[in-house]
Every structure is written in structure tokens, then in C-alpha cells.
């Protein structure tokens, strides 16, 4: 009999990729879990459908009301992770200052570690974790509902709901969501849903509204089969960084009869059928089904109108048969296809007033099965490419949706592939369809000039920026005084805790103090004394002798806290054992290690220091899929441009993230560890990833008044709070205070903060919530955080707050130091000069005479905060020599009796 050589549907995915280089998967089939469908293009033709359907237009009348509202859950997941990120334990005041030692430090050179690979996604290491991290094979969450065994499994990716909990919570590919019906709506298939903004549920008690939520439980189109029933099972196979296969089988142990490639941004929802009788269901109800005709020689097109008046397209590509497969509209809830169907069925929603139908027609029959990522960096610019693996009709180009931050940074080739087809996502604005097998995004302002010192972006609207570690005499005195006192605190009591998060914050705090004392205050003997204590405290974790040691989980494959193993509390340490927040927790350790390695380069080669730190990096930011011990990029999502904090917990609203600032800090830590440890590719990835995060955060989380992505009525909140895949809630897991909600996107204030938090946004947020003395109504460590954040727009006021001789140390977060805050604010204000009057710089440049009226015609200083001291003080007499020195470093210029940044 004739063979079908036209269509290639080989779905064995032996080379599914997460990141370059090519992954060589080693799969061991489970005895009971079904594997994905494999359809050969060489099957005999067993069926010949006589002709096109007898009636090209079929109609149905609904006898009951369709479901068009779904269900709304306004509360947060009740999983017990509500602890305040600020360390609550009181820091005991030290008995005096730390005495310097007769030793000096010789920091590293801070130069480019070496050449960067053409593709920066290369392995960090391949060895097993250090031996002191023992292995366990009894993780509290069993590896159920997953075909793959003994390979690293993604824990924080978008499809995790398919294998967690009851397996019925939705999965968002954006703009579509998919959910296993499992009997809801009298079907056991996979429901495909798309939510319009008009369907969102809004908080009606507050202005601006506290939240908006997409309804769940809606079933627009459901891929099912007559063979599926109450014994049906769902299994996940080939889970990667961008994709997975969802397999539906009639019973446990049976071969799957429907397999769905689930890929982020997929333009079609595609179901592969293997000798099953298709049933296409809808909880929104079918109004009409119309057969249109044949496309591309093998695919057959149908149009569907639902009772909510939305229009969908259905494309059927049969294998082992000839002619148009018949689909009958049995009733308003069911379309039935032919017996023993082999092939694929695809559906897509057509947005109004677009070329959607033509675009879908031209791409039908092809579908994405996975994705790879590659990237390149050259100094201050870089790019990354997401390329999709393709199956189906190979001469068709893929239709894929891109998110707003992608479109904003497309290269010229990808821009040319954009269409006018847009579908709104739940929490990421409007996704736009691209007809391309790959997309490339360009970042032209990488943070390669950011190091350990306070940093500010260029003030002339250009790219880049500069560090400043110069302090005037007053600031130097304040830094040395605070540093000596804080370095005499009990390091062990603050770092040897039963929490990786709190311990990491404290280690980073002390590392920041020592760096500041050494590099900015030039007090090397005091810094050397502090470094001895820091190494001892850090060594506790390298030796794995902290109260809750780390273990290597050989089930999911990662490094986790042993806490939950001991008492069964899955919420311990914010859910670390179940892979929550690893980038938050481990980023602090990585950054502290970078500082130690900078201050004492010999430390890097001692014992397992470097291997231990790289183990943490591989756990949360492994750049390849070939590592046998860790999955690809556990936390960071290269499609969304930010990380997801939620690990092995099912969630009705999908993955979520709360603290964008700790997310970006974890990437900044990667960049600095790469620089210090000599891994040029890691440093380059960190720079590129931080640029992508800054763009993503600006589009989705930090809401300036000109934001066009999130709904207009939500913008006055200024930050999203917690962003889920299906809802945005202007709150936190640990409370609803304004300083919590805004401040969780600020901590920790560090050199990269000015890069990821635009000055215009910081000003709007301050004016909305904290100006006119309102900041002083805030208590505790959050007040210190808010004032440190103020340094991004008004460093002089922030400096005066922290440099006050009567500063209240209770206003510091246990993970922050007065030493760093004084140096940070002083450096951003040009060295620490106090101001007694302020005037806008823009005005000063236009009318210099007006701002110097009554002055002594001496120089005055214009700093990055866009304010200047207008008193006619002599810079030498009042401020010391620091201003004179600043004029010699090429970053300043004299102009008309003024000293301004060039």
C-alpha cells in the first residue's frame, strides 16, 4: 500500500534541548508510566475518507447555559511561607570596636577573567557536589507522574502543575493555558483556554485595585478521545527548560493515545493522536463548526464559533489515511472525529481585526516540540536566541507568541517576522505572533561596568555608567567608625542559623562591610581582621556543619536544606527543601564568596571553596542541560526574563515571584563570582541575564506611569507585589504593609540597584508612598531600606539620615549594615558632602546665575541626585580635597564656575 512520505511526525525527541550544546539524553522508561506517542511517516494508508464532510456548516443549540465565568480564588496559597524576609532576631550590640590586626589585604585585579565563548551557555563544572554534601534518595515529594527517571528534573518550570498535587491545576504557556479536565465538564481530556481582559476579576474594595485574577476552570476547547474515562492518567515526559510533553492514556500502564507538546509561547495547541477516536469538547459550548478545505497538501481546516462569540480554528493533519477526516458536531458540547485516528489536531484562537486566520493557515501543520537557547556577549552589548525544535510539516514555518519584553528588543530579522496577531496574556500584557523558527533579542546596555562599588548609570541618556568609591573626610570617619563597631559583632550568632536565607543575608552583610572598609575607607588592617572572622563563618557552610546541613537530593537532583527531612515541615526556610527560593537564598552566599575571593584570591584555591560555591550556582543557575547533577536554569526563566520562586508545590494560579530585587541580586552575584573566579562565560551570562531582567522587571513588575503592559487601572500601585502566572496581587506573603510590598522589590540595595530600578520609577514610587515625611512613620529595618532606596534619587538626604551620629541601629535590616549604607549614599552623593539647600540641576544649567545669587562665586557640586548645594562654599575649605581629586579622574569637568559630572 502507498506510504505517506509527505509528513514527518517522528516524535521520539531523542535530542530535545534546553540549552546549547546539544543534550544527550539518557532515558530509562518507567515500567508503569506511558511514553509519548511516536508516529511514523511510513505508515500504511489504512483509511480513505470518501470526501469532505457532507455538510460544510454544522450548528448546535445549547440547552443549558455555557460556563463563561470560571472560578476565582482571591487568597494566597496557604502553604506556610509567610515569614518576614527581615531577620527578626535582635543583633546584640558589640562590646566596643574590632581591633585591626598587623596584616594587610591584597585584593584581586578585577580584570576580565579571559576570553568569552561564541556561545556563553557552556558548562560550569561536571563533577559531583563536594563530598561533605551527602546524598539522599528519599525526597518528601515523590517523583510521580513523570516518565523520565534518574535525570535532573525541572522543579520550578511552568508545567509543574501537570505532575504535582491532583494534576488538575492549569499550566500557562502564554497566551494559552492548559488543564487536565479529569472529569470536569464530563471530559477527561486536556482543556485549552484563553482569557480576555474583560474576563479578569478585579478587587472592587480598593482604589487602585489590590489585585486582578484570571478565572480558572474555563474549557474553551478540550482535546479528548472516546477511549478516555475515569481511569485515565496524565504523565509528563521530557520536561525541559522551555517545554514538556503531556501524555494522556486510558489507564495506568497503558500507552498514551494523546500526547501534547507543551511549549512556552506556542502559537497552536497541538494534540497528537495515536489510533484514538477524537472528541473535541467545550465547556463554553460550540455554536457552529464549518469545514473550510485543504491546506499545504495534507492539513484540513475547520472553523469553530463558541457561544461566547469567540472564533477558533481547528486543523487536522492525518497520517495513515487519505482525504478530509470527518468531524461531526454531535451537540453543543462535543465534536467527534473518526475511529482510529492517527495524526495531529491543532487549535488556535483568532483575535478580531487581525490577519490571524491567514497567518495560522500559512503555518498549520508545524508545531514546536522544544527550544534551545544560545547567547553571545561582546563588552557592553549582547544577544540571545531562542530556537524551537520543529515537528510536523517541515516546510511550514512555526507560529510562536513573543512577550512584550521580547518584542521590545528584537533584532531586525525577528522584527520582520512579526505579525499583527495579538492575544492578551493574564499577567504579561499582549503577546504578539511571530512567524519564525527562532527569535533573537538584543541587549545593548549590559552592566559590564558594575563592580562591587556604588554605581550610577550615565546621566546623559547614554549607555553604561560608572562606579565611585571616593569618600570625603566626614564620610570616611563615619564609615570607619561604623565598620569597626559592626565588624566586632558576633558573626557566628548571626550566620550559623537554621535558615539558608537568613544565614546568607548575614554573610553578605559582613562581606559588604569588609569590602567597604578595605576599598572605600582604605583601612586594610581593620578589613583584614574582619575577613578572618568572615572566612570562619563562611567555612561553617563549606564544611556543611550549619544547624541544618545541605543534602544532595538524588531524586529531583539538586542541593536542598535537610530541614524538611527532619521534621516534615515543607514550609521550613521558605520551602527550601522543596526548591522554593533557591536563587534568593544561594545568591547571597555566591556574592559573599565573590567578595572573599576578591579580597583574598588565594582563598579560591583552598579546599573545596570554589567547588562548593559553584555547586550552589549549578543548583539555581546551571547554564546547560548536559549536567548530570542539576537541571538547566532551575530558577531563571529565559522566556519570561525573570525567575520563578515556587518549587514543588501545586498552585491554582501557577508559578510566582515576589522579590524582583533579590532575583536581580542573585544574577549580579553570578556576574561577580564569574569575574572573581575566572569564569568569563559566567560573568558574561550574568551581564546578559541582568540586562534581560532589568527589561522584564520594568515591563511587568515596576510600574512607571508610562507602563503600557499591565492594565491601566493597576499602574498606580507602582509595583505588582506578587506576580503569578494567572494573577497579580499587590501584597506580600508576610503582610500587607506598604513598606513590605514596595520594599521587597528593593532589598538588598547594592551596586546593581541603580541599573534595575530606573530613577524615574523610584521617584514616582517615593512620591506615591513615602514623601512628605511619610517614610518616618515606618518602623524597624524597613525604614532603613526605604532610605537606602532613596539614595537612587536623593543620595544627600539618604546620606544625612544614615550619617546622623544618633542613628538608631534598630532601623537596619539584619541583612544590612550601617557601614555600607553610609558609603553607598555618600558615594552616590559625590563623596558624602552634606547639603543645606537643593535646587534642580536642569534649572541650574539653564539659569546658573539664579541659583548662585548671593553666593561667594565659588565652586559648587552637582551630583547624581540632580540637586546641588547652592551655598557659596569654597570646596577646599568646606569639603576637603575629595572634590579636587574628583576633578582629575576624567569623570568631572569645570564649567562656568561650577563643577559638574561630564
Scored b (16 or more CB within 10 A) or e, 593-612 reads bbbbbbbbbebbeeebbbeb
**Positive or negative, the Cα torsion across 549, 514, 810, 773?**
negative
In degrees, to the nearest 5, what angle opens at C-alpha 120 toward C-alphas 116 and 121? 150
Q: What are phi and psi of 181, to 5 degrees?
A: -65, -45
Q: Is 663 marked active-site?
A: no
Residue with cell 496574556: 425
Q: Please write down the HEC assignment for all residues of 494-521.
A: HHCCCCHHHHHHHHHHHHHHHHHHHHHC
Q: What are phi and psi of 709, to 5 degrees?
A: -95, -55
The one catalytic residue in 581, 739, 863, 882 is 581
Q: How far apart are CA 323 and CA 171, in angstroms?
A: 34
| Residues contacting 424, CB < 8 A, separation 6+ | 175, 195, 196, 197, 430, 431
| Contact in structure between 614 and 128 (CB atoms under 8 Å) | no
| Contact in structure between 235 and 33 (CB atoms under 8 Å) | yes
| Contact in structure between 277 and 340 (CB atoms under 8 Å) | yes
In degrees, to the nearest 5, what angle opens at C-alpha 641 toward C-alphas 636 and 642? 50
Q: Which of 333, 251, 324 is nearest to 292 (CA)?
A: 324
Residue 830 is placed in which grid cell?
559625590
> CA dist 534 to 485, 529, 541, 596, 776, Å?
15, 9, 11, 8, 33
| Contact in structure between 313 and 357 (CB atoms under 8 Å) | yes
Q: Is 490 marked active-site?
A: no
Name the helix (H) or strand (E) containing 289: strand 286-295
- Report, in this order, helix, strand and coil percent for the chain, each rounded to 5: 30, 20, 50
> CA dist 510 to 244, 494, 536, 588, 783, Å?
42, 10, 12, 11, 20
Helix ranges (H only) for 438-581 are 473-486, 491-495, 500-515, 524-542, 563-567
| Residues contacting 165, CB < 8 A, separation 6+ | 650
The one catalytic residue in 658, 729, 813, 869 is 658
Q: How far apart are CA 271 and CA 318, in angstroms?
A: 12
In degrees, to the nearest 5, what angle opens at C-alpha 763 toward C-alphas 758 and 764? 100
Name the helix (H) or strand (E) containing 234: strand 233-237
First to last CA, the chain: 79
Give me the numbers of helices (H) and strands (E) for the chain, helices first please: 22, 38
DSSP 127-185: SPPPTTS-EES--SS---SB---SS---SSSTTGGGTSTTS-S-EE-SS-EEEE-TTGG
The burial class, CB within 10 Å (0-12 / 13-18 / 19+), for 890 is: exposed
Q: Is 93 marked active-site?
A: no
Scored b (16 or more CB within 10 A) or e, 628-643 reads ebbbbbbbbbbbbbbb
Which is it for strands 430-435 and 366-378: parallel, antiparallel or unpaired?
unpaired
**Positive or negative, the Cα torsion across 315, 321, 322, 328?**
negative
Q: How far apart are CA 405 and CA 428, in angstroms?
A: 9
**Positive or negative, the Cα torsion across 152, 156, 157, 158?**
positive
Neighbours of 805 (CB within 10 A): 6
C-alpha 714 chain-centroid distance:
21
The one catalytic residue in 336, 448, 573, 662 is 662
Active site (catalytic) residues: 581, 658, 662
Amino acid at each position: 500500500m502507498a506510504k505517506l512520505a509527505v509528513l514527518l511526525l517522528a516524535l521520539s525527541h531523542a535530542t530535545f534541548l534546553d540549552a546549547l550544546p546539544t543534550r544527550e539524553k539518557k532515558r530509562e522508561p518507567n515500567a508503569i508510566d506511558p511514553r509519548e506517542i511516536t508516529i511514523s511517516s511510513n505508515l500504511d494508508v489504512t483509511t480513505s475518507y470518501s470526501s469532505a464532510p457532507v455538510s460544510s456548516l454544522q450548528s448546535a443549540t445549547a440547552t443549558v447555559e455555557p460556563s463563561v465565568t470560571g472560578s476565582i480564588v482571591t487568597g494566597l496559597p496557604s502553604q506556610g511561607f509567610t515569614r518576614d524576609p527581615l531577620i527578626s532576631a535582635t543583633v546584640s550590640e558589640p562590646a566596643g570596636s574590632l581591633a585591626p590586626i598587623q596584616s594587610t589585604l591584597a585584593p584581586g585585579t578585577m580584570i576580565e577573567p579571559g576570553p568569552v565563548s561564541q556561545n556563553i551557555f557552556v558548562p560550569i563544572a561536571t563533577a559531583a557536589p563536594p563530598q561533605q554534601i551527602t546524598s539522599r534518595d528519599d525526597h518528601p515529594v515523590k517523583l510521580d507522574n513523570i516518565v523520565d527517571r534518574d535525570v535532573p528534573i525541572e522543579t520550578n518550570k511552568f508545567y509543574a502543575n501537570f505532575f504535582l498535587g491532583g494534576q488538575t491545576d492549569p499550566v500557562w504557556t502564554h497566551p494559552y493555558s492548559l488543564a487536565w479536565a479529569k472529569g470536569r465538564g464530563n471530559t477527561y481530556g486536556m482543556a485549552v483556554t484563553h482569557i480576555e481582559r474583560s474576563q479578569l476579576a478585579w478587587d472592587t474594595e480598593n482604589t487602585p485595585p489590590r489585585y486582578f485574577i484570571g478565572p480558572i476552570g474555563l474549557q474553551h476547547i478540550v482535546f479528548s478521545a472516546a477511549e478516555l474515562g475515569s481511569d485515565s492518567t496524565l504523565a509528563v515526559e521530557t520536561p525541559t527548560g522551555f517545554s514538556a510533553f503531556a501524555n494522556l492514556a486510558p489507564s495506568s500502564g497503558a500507552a498514551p493515545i494523546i500526547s501534547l507538546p507543551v511549549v512556552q509561547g506556542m502559537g497552536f495547541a497541538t494534540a497528537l493522536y495515536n489510533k484514538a477516536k477524537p472528541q473535541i469538547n467545550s465547556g463554553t459550548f460550540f455554536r457552529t463548526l464549518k469545514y473550510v478545505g485543504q491546506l499545504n497538501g495534507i492539513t484540513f481546516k475547520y472553523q469553530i464559533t463558541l457561544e461566547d462569540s469567540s472564533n477558533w480554528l481547528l486543523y487536522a493533519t492525518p497520517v495513515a489515511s487519505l482525504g478530509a477526516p470527518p468531524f461531526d458536531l454531535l451537540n453543543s458540547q462535543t465534536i467527534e472525529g473518526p475511529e482510529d485516528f492517527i495524526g495531529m489536531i491543532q487549535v488556535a484562537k483568532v483575535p478580531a481585526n487581525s490577519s490571524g486566520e491567514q497567518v495560522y493557515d500559512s503555518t498549520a501543520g508545524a508545531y514546536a516540540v522544544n527550544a534551545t537557547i544560545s547567547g553571545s556577549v561582546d563588552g557592553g552589548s549582547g544577544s540571545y536566541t531562542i530556537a524551537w525544535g520543529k515537528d510536523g510539516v517541515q516546510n511550514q514555518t512555526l507560529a510562536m507568541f513573543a512577550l512584550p519584553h521580547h518584542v521590545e528588543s528584537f533584532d531586525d530579522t525577528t522584527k520582520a517576522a512579526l505579525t499583527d496577531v495579538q492575544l492578551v496574556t493574564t499577567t504579561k500584557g499582549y503577546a504578539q505572533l511571530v512567524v519564525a523558527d527562532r527569535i533573537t533579542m538584543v541587549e545593548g546596555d549590559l552592566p559590564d561596568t558594575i563592580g562591587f562599588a556604588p554605581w550610577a548609570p550615565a546621566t546623559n541618556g547614554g549607555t553604561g555608567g560608572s562606579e565611585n568609591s571616593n569618600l570625603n573626610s566626614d564620610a570616611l570617619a563615619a564609615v570607619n567608625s561604623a565598620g569597626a563597631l559592626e565588624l566586632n559583632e558576633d558573626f557566628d550568632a548571626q550566620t550559623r542559623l537554621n535558615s539558608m536565607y537568613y544565614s546568607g543575608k548575614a554573610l553578605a552583610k559582613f562581606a559588604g562591610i569588609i569590602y567597604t572598609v578595605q576599598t572605600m575607607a582604605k583601612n586594610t588592617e581593620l578589613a583584614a581582621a574582619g575577613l578572618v572572622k568572615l572566612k570562619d563563618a563562611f567555612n561553617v557552610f563549606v564544611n556543611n556543619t550549619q544547624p541544618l546541613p545541605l543534602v544532595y537530593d538524588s531524586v529531583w537532583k539538586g542541593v536542598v536544606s535537610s530541614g524538611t527531612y527532619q521534621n516534615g515541615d515543607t514550609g521550613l526556610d521558605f520551602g527550601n527543601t522543596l526548591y522554593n527560593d533557591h536563587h534568593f537564598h544561594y545568591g547571597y552566599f555566591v556574592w559573599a564568596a565573590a567578595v572573599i575571593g576578591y579580597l583574598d584570591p588565594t582563598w579560591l584555591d583552598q579546599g573545596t571553596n570554589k567547588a562548593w560555591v559553584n555547586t550552589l550556582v549549578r543548583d539555581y543557575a546551571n547554564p546547560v542541560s548536559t549536567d548530570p547533577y542539576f537541571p538547566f536554569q532551575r530558577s531563571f526563566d529565559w522566556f519570561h526574563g525573570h525567575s520563578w520562586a515556587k518549587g514543588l508545590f501545586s498552585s491554582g494560579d501557577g508559578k510566582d515571584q515576589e522579590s524582583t530585587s533579590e532575583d536581580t541580586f542573585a544574577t549580579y552575584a553570578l556576574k561577580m563570582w564569574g569575574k572573581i573566579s575566572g569564569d568569563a562565560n559566567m560573568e558574561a551570562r550574568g551581564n546578559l541575564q541582568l540586562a534581560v531582567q532589568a527589561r522584564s522587571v520594568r515591563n511587568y513588575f515596576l510600574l512607571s506611569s508610562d507602563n503600557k503592559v499591565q492594565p491601566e487601572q493597576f499602574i498606580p500601585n507602582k509595583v505588582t507585589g506578587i506576580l503569578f502566572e494567572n494573577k497579580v496581587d499587590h501584597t506580600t506573603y508576610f503582610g500587607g504593609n506598604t513598606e513590605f510590598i514596595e520594599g521587597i522589590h528593593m532589598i538588598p540595595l547594592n551596586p546593581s540597584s541603580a541599573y534595575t530600578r530606573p530613577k524615574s520609577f523610584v521617584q514616582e514610587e517615593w512620591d506615591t508612598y513615602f514623601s512628605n515625611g511619610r517614610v518616618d512613620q515606618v518602623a524597624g529595618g524597613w525604614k532603613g531600606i526605604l532610605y537606602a532606596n532613596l539614595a537612587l534619587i536623593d543620595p544627600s538626604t539618604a546620606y544625612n539620615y544614615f550619617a546622623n551620629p544618633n542613628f538608631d541601629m534598630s532601623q537596619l535590616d539584619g541583612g544590612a549594615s550601617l557601614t555600607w549604607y553610609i558609603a553607598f549614599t555618600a558615594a552616590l552623593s559625590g563623596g558624602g558632602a552634606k547639603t543645606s539647600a537643593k535646587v534642580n540641576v536642569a534649572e541650574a544649567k539653564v539659569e546658573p546665575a539664579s541659583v548662585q545669587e548671593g553666593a561667594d562665586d565659588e565652586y559648587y557640586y552637582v551630583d547624581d541626585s540632580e540637586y546641588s548645594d547652592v551655598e557659596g562654599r569654597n570646596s577646599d575649605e568646606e569639603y576637603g580635597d575629595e572634590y579636587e581629586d574628583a576633578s582629575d579622574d576624567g569623570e568631572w569637568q569645570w564649567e562656568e564656575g561650577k563643577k559638574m559630572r561630564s
